[in-house]
């Protein structure tokens, strides 16, 4: 399984293309491709999924295919094989689908990559959605664990099943690092700069705190796409990441 670690602040940023049409998505890609490492295709753009991924690739950018697969092992594995053939860089599935589902996906993805001479994508396991808090976990899902304990257990299951990393909040990143090691990739959703609003997320974090927590990649959406000056918004986020990286490196 290939491990893809970011080398600079720009590479850490994944911009969510949460729009309704391929035309809107392409406009964002053209405008912002020089300021981010990845573009994320999610459920809102799913009807244009492969068309959108090919469009993003045509501009020399990387793709995170965020469909959060969760089904029986054979179904998820075969769906994932199709992503390998399309040259998708990152994709994800729900860890709660179980170890058999994850292991089968990793196995067939590897076989497909070798058969078609394609690079092996980074496969991420979704831990707990960023809109969930402790009350939802305990009262609605009937899970009698703290969020940290629950996410740590899920991350370990993903690691043991051969996944490359997880999607998790920055607040859980330190315990995931302790459990799964430095090479394990952590992608943080719900990143909100200090100047933006939280919206419908619960477990949110700033870019600076994400870096300090040990996150590798961070997903940002509305704070950029809803901004009057999207380039300036990304430049501010990049600067915040660079400042945090400098501090973490002990330069300041």
What percent of the chain shows pLDDT beyond 70?
Answer: 94
pLDDT band at 202 (very low <50, low <70, confident <90, very high): low
Name the more confident of 199 and 103: 103
pLDDT digits (tens, 9 = 90+) for 208-230: 999 999 999 999 998 999 999 99
- Contact call for residues 41 and 53 (beta carbons, < 8 A): yes
Distance CA 103, CA 18 (A): 30
Structural domains in the chain (count): 1
Residue 41 lies in a domain: yes
Active-site option among 10, 33, 57, 68: 68
Task: For residue range 64-108, list pLDDT tens digits in order.
Answer: 999 999 999 999 999 999 999 999 999 999 999 999 999 999 999
> Quick one: pLDDT at residue 129?
85
Provide the residue range defining the domain that includes 46.
9-248
Instruction: Dig out the tokens for 140 from the structure.
Output: 């609605």
Q: Is residue 161 part of a domain?
A: yes
In a domain, 4, yes or no: no
What is the mean predicted confidence (pLDDT) over 2-17?
Answer: 88
Average pLDDT of the segment spanning 150-173: 96
Asked if residue 82 belongs to a domain, the reply is yes
The whole model's pTM is what?
Answer: 0.92
For residue 3, is it within any domain? Answer: no
User: Per the domain annotation, does 1 fall within a domain?
Assistant: no
Distance CA 112, CA 78 (A): 10
Residues in the chain: 252
The predicted pLDDT at position 252 comes to: 44
Report the CATH number at residue 109. 3.20.20.70
Query: Left if phi > 0, otherwise alpha if psi is -120 to 50, otherwise beta: which for 123?
Result: beta
Active site residue 10: no
**What integer best gives the mean pLDDT of the chain?**
92
């Amino acid at each position: 399984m290939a491990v893809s670690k970011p080398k600079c602040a720009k590479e850490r940023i994944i911009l969510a293309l949460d729009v309704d049409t391929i035309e809107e998505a392409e406009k964002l890609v053209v405008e912002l491709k020089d300021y981010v490492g990845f573009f994320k295709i999610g459920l809102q753009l799913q009807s244009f999924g492969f068309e959108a991924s090919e469009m993003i690739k045509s501009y020399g950018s990387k793709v995170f295919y965020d469909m959060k697969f969760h089904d029986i092992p054979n179904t998820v594995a075969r769906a994932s094989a199709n992503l390998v053939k399309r040259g998708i860089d990152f994709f994800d599935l729900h860890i709660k689908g179980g170890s058999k589902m994850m292991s089968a996906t990793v196995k067939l993805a590897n076989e497909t990559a070798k058969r078609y001479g394609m690079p092996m994508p980074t496969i991420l396991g979704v831990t707990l959605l960023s809109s969930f808090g402790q009350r939802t976990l305990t009262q609605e899902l009937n899970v009698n664990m703290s969020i940290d304990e629950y996410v740590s257990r899920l991350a370990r299951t993903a690691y043991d099943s051969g996944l490359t990393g997880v999607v998790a909040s920055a607040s859980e990143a330190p315990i995931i690092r302790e459990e799964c090691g430095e090479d394990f990739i952590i992608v943080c959703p719900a990143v909100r700069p200090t100047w933006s609003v939280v919206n419908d997320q619960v477990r949110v974090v700033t870019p600076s705190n994400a870096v300090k927590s040990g996150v590798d990649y961070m997903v940002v959406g509305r704070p950029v796409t809803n901004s009057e000056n999207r380039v300036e918004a990304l430049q501010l986020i990049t600067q915040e990441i660079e400042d945090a990286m400098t501090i973490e490196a002990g330069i300041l």
